[in-house]
């Protein structure tokens, strides 16, 4: 009886098992992949089986697999699946469902979008993101009174594009119980009116005075955000994303979805250092599932704020705000305590540091903890590493710290950065090539939804340091330009390295997962202006097509 059941089970699985084991040959392609040898290799044929690459080579290679399933690539360009080494997945998904203020060029335009959104939304709190006062006439922060003109009956909370400041209406401040007596918390700033009252703009840790009162999101809303973000990222050719700071609820969701085998893309998640359940998550141990869909082995730490809101911690005054040097969210001793806790549990520490003072303090903290407890081999990272004192750049290599950088920040920030900073402060700014030339690996990302998630915008920024109109003509501070090969490696193999995954993903080498994309542009040889306009035609994850672009009507 038992033998008959076993035979029946084997017969039931025979069809899907055969399909799974089938070899697939994708031929007639123009393939590019970085390799562990440090070279960019080309190929015309890719052979995959059981979700992994088993071979690649010239056109005649396809004849070696006569029984394989054959797919004609029709001469299209094939690249490894792109990896975004710094984004916020749930934040992106929520952005796709919330009020989008990106690109608004005035307070009036923000108000117009806000009114339209409020008219069709029944949410008790109106949440949005994307405003940037640098795009407005006068380039100054607005106030709660400005929002009250458009919506006053419901609380409104609008995050700045970088997430390091919020702008709220009077209803939100009323529900939070804030008045002229409230004081700025350590690591935060309340922007005040001439009368000394909160103006409606709260920077960095001061945001929590408001956000603590926003109703908690439901499990369903969290799952929906994940799915929307996943669909969007796959459509852009991103097969793996490093989620820079997750809370306890997201940690639970990711683990359950990995267990159920229905994560939309590969996720390397960093635990949020500020979450009150951090130690609970650390004690549960690292996560690395068998299909490499989910890895959790690091902690995201915040050292300072952002340049746009003048929260980045500088060694010298801001050029456009004398006497102000930004905000440290954690002092050096606090950083050392957090690093020690991470290393104790075998977790890496990935630390947000934008200003040169923050980068210096973070490097000092890493150095001290390495001396006491070790941890130097955990591939610790500094996220952003935007403004670094030139004397501190070699310390990244000496301390084995990976600079996790977002090329599109340079082209988004270049005009604002020149107002905020002196020329000497900019000497070590967005210094991708300098890092590479000293032997550091640069892990590239976008910081979505701060920036658009499109990785081809990042590739274009890396190789041109220009805006989409091709300005400035020679690129902004062009000595830091990357070659096309270097840029591609930063968004693939080096990003994988920064997550201990260089032998699993990041290139189309034998034995690795068959994560790849077909695109409409040869990004290695096409005119440079075409790079940012590249369209993804198909996205494959572990040998399965997960996205296909629909033809235009």
| Dihedral over Cα of 212, 314, 427, 492: its sign | negative
Closest CA to 303 of 380, 242, 400: 380
What residues in the chain have per-residue pLDDT under 70? 1-21, 553
> What are the structure tokens assigned to 461, written together?
């920024």
**Cα(112)–Cα(102) distance, integer angstroms:** 13
Task: Return the pLDDT at 164.
Answer: 87
Task: Return the pLDDT at 553.
Answer: 60
Q: Residue 302: CA atoms inside 13 Å, Cβ hemisphere, count?
A: 21
Q: Which residue has the tokens 């032998």?
A: 503
Q: 46, 26 in Cβ contact below 8 A?
A: yes
**Cα(41)–Cα(34) distance, integer angstroms:** 6
Phi, psi dihedral angles at 165 (to 5 degrees) = -160, 150
In DSSP terms, 516 is beta-bridged to 80, 540
Q: 443, 404 in Cβ contact below 8 A?
A: yes
| Dihedral over Cα of 452, 453, 454, 456: its sign | positive
- What is this structure's pTM? 0.87
| Dihedral over Cα of 338, 162, 93, 521: its sign | negative
Type and span of the H or E element at 348: strand 348-353
3-state secondary structure 192-248: ECCCCCEEEEEEEHHHHHHHCCCCCCCHHHHHHHHHHHHHHHHHCCEEEEEEEEECH
Q: 491, 441 in Cβ contact below 8 A?
A: no
Task: Return the pLDDT at 13.
Answer: 41
Task: Return the pLDDT at 17.
Answer: 40
DSSP summary character for residue 451: S
**Cα(218)–Cα(444) distance, integer angstroms:** 32
Reduced to 3 states, what is the DSSP secondary structure of residue 175? Answer: helix
Q: Residue 148: CA atoms inside 13 Å, Cβ hemisphere, count?
A: 11
**Cα(101)–Cα(346) distance, integer angstroms:** 40
| Dihedral over Cα of 412, 424, 386, 315: its sign | negative
CA distances from 535 to 392, 455, 466, 519 (A): 38, 11, 20, 6
**Cα(34)–Cα(325) distance, integer angstroms:** 41
**Cα(224)–Cα(97) distance, integer angstroms:** 9
| Dihedral over Cα of 342, 348, 352, 353: its sign | positive
**Cα(409)–Cα(420) distance, integer angstroms:** 15
């Amino acid at each position: 009886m038992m033998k008959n059941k076993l035979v029946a089970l084997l017969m039931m699985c025979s069809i899907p098992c055969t399909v799974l084991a089938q070899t697939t040959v994708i031929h007639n392609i123009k393939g590019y992949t970085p390799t562990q040898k440090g070279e960019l290799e080309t190929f015309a044929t890719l052979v995959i089986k059981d979700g992994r690459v088993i071979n690649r080579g010239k056109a005649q290679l396809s004849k070696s697999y006569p029984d394989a399933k054959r797919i004609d690539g029709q001469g299209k360009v094939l690249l490894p699946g792109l990896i975004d080494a710094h984004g916020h997945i749930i934040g992106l998904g929520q952005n796709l469902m919330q009020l989008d203020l990106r690109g608004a060029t005035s307070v009036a335009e923000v108000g117009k979008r806000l009114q339209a959104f409020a008219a069709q939304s029944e949410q008790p709190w109106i949440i949005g993101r994307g405003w940037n006062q640098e795009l407005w006439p006068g380039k100054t922060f607005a106030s709660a009174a400005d929002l009250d003109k458009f919506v006053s009956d419901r609380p409104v909370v609008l995050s700045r594009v970088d997430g390091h400041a919020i702008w709220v209406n009077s209803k939100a401040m009323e529900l939070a119980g804030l008045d002229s007596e409230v004081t700025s918390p350590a690591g935060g700033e309340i922007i005040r009116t001439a009368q000394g009252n909160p103006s409606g703009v709260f920077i960095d840790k001061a945001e929590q005075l408001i956000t603590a009162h926003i109703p908690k999101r439901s499990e369903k809303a969290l799952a929906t955000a994940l799915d929307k973000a996943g669909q969007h990222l796959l459509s852009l050719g991103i097969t793996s994303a490093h989620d820079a700071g997750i809370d306890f609820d997201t940690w639970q969701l990711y683990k359950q979805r990995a267990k159920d085998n229905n994560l939309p893309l590969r996720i390397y998640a960093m635990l949020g250092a500020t979450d009150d359940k951090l130690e609970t998550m650390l004690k549960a141990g690292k996560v690395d599932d068998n299909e490499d869909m989910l890895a959790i082995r690091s902690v995201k730490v915040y050292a300072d704020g952002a340049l746009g809101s003048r929260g980045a911690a500088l060694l010298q005054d801001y050029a456009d705000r004398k006497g102000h040097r930004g905000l440290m969210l954690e002092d050096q001793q606090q950083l050392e305590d957090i690093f020690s806790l991470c290393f104790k549990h075998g977790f890496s520490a990935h630390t947000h540091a934008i200003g040169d003072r923050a980068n210096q303090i973070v490097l000092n903290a890493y150095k001290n903890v390495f001396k006491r407890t070790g941890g130097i081999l955990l591939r610790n990272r500094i996220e952003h590493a935007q403004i670094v004192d030139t004397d501190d750049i070699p310390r990244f290599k000496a301390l084995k710290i990976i600079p996790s950088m977002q090329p599109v920040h340079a082209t988004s920030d270049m005009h604002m950065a020149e107002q905020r900073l002196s020329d000497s402060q900019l000497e070590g700014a967005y210094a991708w090539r300098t890092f590479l030339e000293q032997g550091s690996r640069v892990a590239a990302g976008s910081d979505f939804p701060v920036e658009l998630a499109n990785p081809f915008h990042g590739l274009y920024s890396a190789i041109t340091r220009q805006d989409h109109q091709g300005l400035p003509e020679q690129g902004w501070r062009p000595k830091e330009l990357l070659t096309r090969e270097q840029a591609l490696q930063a968004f693939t193999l080096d990003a994988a390295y920064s997550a201990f995954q260089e032998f699993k993903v990041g290139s189309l080498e034998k034995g690795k997962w068959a994560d790849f994309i077909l695109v409409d542009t040869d990004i290695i040889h096409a005119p440079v202006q075409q790079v940012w306009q590249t369209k993804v035609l198909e996205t494959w994850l572990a040998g399965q097509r997960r996205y296909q672009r629909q033809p235009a009507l």
